[in-house]
Amino acid sequence: MVSSRLTPIFYLTLLLVTFSCVCSKTSKPPVAPKIGNGYRLVSLQESPDGGLVGHLQVNKQNKIYGPDIPHLQLYIKHETDDRLRVHITDAQNQRWEVPYNLLPRTQPPTPSQQPFTRTLKNPITVSESSGNELIFSYISNPFSFAVRRKSNGQTIFNSSSDGSNSLVFKDQYIEISTTLPKTASLYGLGENSQPHGIKLYPNDPYTLWTTDQSAINLNMDLYGSHPVYMDMRNVGGDPYAHGVLLLNSNGMDVFYRGDSLTYKVIGGVLDFYFFAGPTPLAVVDQYTQLIGRPAAMPYWSLGFHQCRWGYHNLSVVEDVVENYKKANIPLDVIWNDDDHMDGHKDFTLNPNAYPRPKLLDFLQRIHARGMKYIVIIDPGIGVNTSYGTYQRGLAKDVFIKYEGKPYLAQVWPGAVNFPDFLNPATVAWWGDEVRRFHELVPVDGLWIDMNEASNFCSGLCTLPEGKQCPTGTGPGWICCLDCKNITKTRWDDPPYKINASGTHVPIGYKTIATSAVHYNGVREYDAHSIYGFSHAIATHKALQGLEGKRPFILSRSTFVGSGHYTAHWTGDNQGTWNDIKYSIYTMLNFGIFGIPMVGSDICGFYPQPTEELCNRWIELGAFYPFSRDHANYYSPRQELYQWETVATSARNALGMRYKLLPYLYTLTYEAHTIGAPIARPLFFSFPTIQELYGLSTQFLLGESLMVSPVLDQGRTNVSAVFPPGTWYSLFDPSQAIVSKDTQTFTLDAPLHVINVHLYQNTILPMQRGGMISKEARMTPFTLIVTFPAGATDAKAKGKLFLDNDELPEMQLGNGQSTYVEFSASTSKEMVKVWSDVQESKFALDKGWVIEKISVLGLSGVGSAFSVEVEGNSDVLDVSNVELAQTEHKFVYGAEDMKSVMVEVGGLNLPVGKKFTMSWKMGIS
């Protein structure tokens, strides 16, 4: 084993010695050998679909990492006005690609397998293919290509990078590079825990290979694989964003040097997609248009979730729910890790700890209140002759194979086989098992974990003879199978070693052997990183098939397109001050990945956090898109009521979250329709401000709600950046900050306080809140209208989406949804607030009303107050309306300015009817 692993390195060493010897004779510095000699373009023609198809031929064979593939097919297509595809594969043999049935997209022309007959007259001529927004150009020999903007000529990708290898395309090693301006800011390329913030950091390692590795490990390949990045540039004050996706599921290292980026991939094809932007939101819109819009989420999923590995029996779970109620802390969803299972086996119940009659009674009681219940389901199916799920799986032949037999691994139940979700029969079997379990326990969603896939063992394993495995004592993650390493195939021991786990461990380490085989002969080597993706698709289909309701799935492992089916949490973090920071970085990157429903384990998965940290974490976590407290089996209890100070912070922060639920739900609608992240970096709304490009300690919910948490121990204030304009405190709208430029202010933040500010020109819909989303959702609405302090002419806008959240689709046109656009304007003479309603029936049937409108930044109430409601031309009697005004306190800026918040109460405006409200007055 050792010698075989050293062979490529030894060969490379010989080359290096040879080169250094030559160099010493000529007194020149050593030169690293080239891995490839590039290709030349030998033919080009238009494809039937309007694209271009070219043929590339290798210039000279090179044996490092294996022989070059001699002939390649090049396919270029402007697929939309703002999306360009460049696809390169073997011209004579079919190669592995992300399955088109899993991620639907246009298939390139099938390689012709014909000899090359058409030669370019001038092989060094630069030619181009122009679309509406992007221009593709190439140099024929050595072949390279560039992509630039049509509007300003800005180059966004250029593979003719100096100092790097030309295009290298071998069976198990593909390399391509692009040059970058040093001023470019890059985001993405995950999943990993980045210590430096949201921006990619030059010379940090970026390895993509789905791995069950705790999120506490920095700069390492974690649970998901997302080979996409966003590039943000500012040229002369003009901001431009674009995106680059390399759609490839094989393991890869991506080297970002600041002025270049190099991909080193161990298989598959080069399938590049370039997204023109030019705004950050446009990039994510274009990206999710390709990979699938984020999944529709049920309303209750935006409530607070409580989980723990170690709720040993049902009575403990019942106590947790009751204690949240006693503490007046909102709670929507209670979760079980595998404590409910019989011997850790999927789709089972422990008859002693979770007896079915008592569990059904408990679920009936919490369902009556509107609460939900979610359990974990791992992919590993316990090898057990008395286990129905396993026996039915064997009968249907659903498991991944090794040399014709189900591949044996170990996870929590002990010995397991892994379902092969690339097999249609497996998807049907999985759906049937979910149905059977739902009949046993009417769960409201599923949590799919360990789907990288995780394996407590490595290599080829067998059941041990004469001993119990696992023993039932000690940690359950110690391998107890009899295993031997597999090094005899190039799939287990590829010539190029990606930086797996940060130490170049074998890619089959603690996962499925990479020479194992899926349906139709697909190797785990190729399909490894889409395992969690295929698992999510099968689970989504299973849940949707139960009652036709909108599914909720939480998955640990994700890939390009996973957001179309699942939410995500950031995995096993620690209760440390560093981890609370990392949670923001990862959350913001997943918004770019098209998985906006994301959050971290609040207070940390292990070990127990300090009381102060848990205070600060729930204040932050209350504003994650997905908000859940979860802890480790071996950690002390950390539910939010365990400390009175934390309970106070939870009531404050979650109390505000539950008032914001209609806003958050509207953001999930925007995510579902245009891909917009729920939580996003500040530069999404302020792209011209370069100092925001690396800001990683604050974030926006939507376009204009800014969260500035305390992230350091012992702090009772927070240093926060404010882009230019007027910002109003969400917890006390009478307090305002006017930032003349982009300024940093120090804000008071005692233990129970998180600073959240609402930007000018916004209309924010809120409700009264409550202890559970079902109740909070039916309370009256308040609109918060923000104008810039001191403006003489201003406008504000806001949106509200309402629907029956049990329907599979989140859309208008089904008779069970309503969409409202709110508008407001002010001038020296008049203030006006009005609404425009699409499909009003649903909101009218539900009886939703607006009880108060608060307008911020005004000089006071004047005269001629009126309200007009659609279908009722009568002007409401002002005596029925309650008016109050509060003078704004400017914490920073505009100290001499007089401005007030005007609250118009006593209203009863149907949300489902258009209204217009106005009065004569102005802004100070």
Which are the catalytic amino acids? 449, 452, 572
**In terms of DSSP bridges, do strands 83-90 and 71-80 run parallel, antiparallel, or are they unpaired?**
antiparallel
Distance of CA 874 to the CA centre of its chain: 49
* Three-state SS letters, 405-462: EECEEEECCEEEECECCCCHHHHHHHHHHHHHHHHHCCCCEEEECCCCCCCCCCCEEE
Residues present in the chain in total:
924
CA 685-689-690 angle, to 5 degrees, is 120
Cα–Cα distance measured from residue 105 to residue 592, given in angstroms and rounded to the nearest whole number = 20
* 850 bridge partner residues: 781, 909
Contacts of 387 (CB under 8 A, 6+ apart): 345, 348, 381
Distance of CA 269 to the CA centre of its chain: 24
Place of tokens 């407290």: 629
Cα–Cα distance measured from residue 618 to residue 603, given in angstroms and rounded to the nearest whole number = 7
Structure tokens at 582: 């990392």
Cα–Cα distance measured from residue 334 to residue 346, given in angstroms and rounded to the nearest whole number = 18
Q: Is the dihedral of CA 78, 279, 301, 810 positive or negative?
A: negative
Structure tokens at 542: 């299973």
Q: How many CB atoms lie within 10 A of CB 596?
A: 30
C-beta of residue 532 within 8 angstroms of C-beta of residue 209? no
Q: What one-character DSSP code corresponds to residue 583? A: H
Of 50, 44, 46, the closest CA to residue 73 belongs to: 44
Structure tokens at 249: 């599921």
Cα–Cα distance measured from residue 810 to residue 309, given in angstroms and rounded to the nearest whole number = 33
Place of tokens 């990945």: 593
Q: Give the DSSP per-residue string, 273-293.
A: EEE--SSHHHHHHHHHHHH-P
Q: Give the DSSP per-residue string, 20-56.
A: HHHHHHHT----PPPS---EEEEEEEE-TTS-EEEEE
Cα–Cα distance measured from residue 502 to residue 519, given in angstroms and rounded to the nearest whole number = 31
Distance of CA 137 to the CA centre of its chain: 33
- Phi then psi for 770, rounded to 5 degrees? 165, -175
C-beta of residue 838 within 8 angstroms of C-beta of residue 828? no
Structure tokens at 532: 């969690």
